[in-house]
Amino acid sequence: MSILLKIIRYQFHDISRSKWIIIYTSFFFLVTYGLISFSNDTSKVIISLLNVTLIIIPLVSIIFGTIYLYNNKDYIILILSQPIKRNVLYLGLYFGLTIPLALSFLLGVGVPILLFSRDLKENFEVLVFLFTAGIFQTFIFVSISFLIATLNENKILGLGLSIFCWLFFSVLYDGLLLLVINLCQDYPLEKILIGFTILNPVDLARIFVTLKLDVAALMGYTGAVFQKFFNGNLGNFISLLSLLVWLVIPLLLGIRKFFKKDF
């Protein structure tokens, strides 16, 4: 455990000095401040921030995570020459990246809301749900990026797969669902669509927050079906549990592949 903490601390210190982390934090700060300046209604600000975070966080997490692992190959080889377990090194690299990214998101969004929002108390619970969704998106897409980078030696191929993965979950997936719904509109698809929704971490994060906001127009058809079957606390629990599964499975697969990888 002490070795794991040392690796996390070193990686955290290294990542925190990166100019990209500063840019990432500043982006969320400026966007949040701008939204608050246009509207004093925190609930509307949260809705707008949700749309931004569901695009930016997965994109930055999966691309930055892929490049990060490829660029640290020499460091990984050096550490593996020491009596350190591979799973400890993998987890150290993983948490050393995800923690700074998650903190950047929390600071970039949280600080302007704390300083400039006038109705924070009324929307505090929804804000917690937004932060939770953003943190899960960071941890999930970094775990996916690590899995992709571990499976592929070719840096260009790995980066291309990461971009395609983000594009698929953020854009293409919902379009494919709409196509299926349109082609099979004469059949009962509600339960099937719930399963498809669980297979997309971006949709799960959106539903997780919008269930609390109770804004049906933002949920889409799959979100409305999800709300119908799992309304209230049950829906939030199912969403949170599914997000946790999305975090754990790529992480475990990545560790398993990392054990067998020949450096």
Tens of pLDDT along 110-131?
888 888 777 767 778 888 889 9
In terms of pLDDT, which residue wins out, 85 or 181?
85
Q: What is the mean pLDDT of residues 210-233?
A: 62
CA distances from 78 to 12, 149, 196 (A): 18, 18, 42
What pLDDT does residue 173 have? 84
Q: Which domain holds residue 16?
A: 2-260
- Domain count for the chain, please give it: 1
d(CA 165, CA 199): 13
What pLDDT does residue 122 have? 73
Q: At what angle do helices 86-116 and 19-38 cross, to 10 degrees?
A: 30
Overall pTM surpassing 0.75 (yes/no) = yes
Amino acid identity of residue 225, one-letter, is: V
What pLDDT does residue 214 have? 59
Q: Is 49 helix (H, G, I), strand (E, B) or coil?
A: helix
d(CA 39, CA 45): 7
Q: Is 82 helix (H, G, I), strand (E, B) or coil?
A: coil
Give the CA dihedral 20, 150, 54, 109, nearest 10 degrees.
-40
As a whole number of angstroms, the longest Cα–Cα distance in the chain is 62
CA distances from 80 to 2, 75, 84, 92, 263 (A): 16, 9, 6, 13, 9
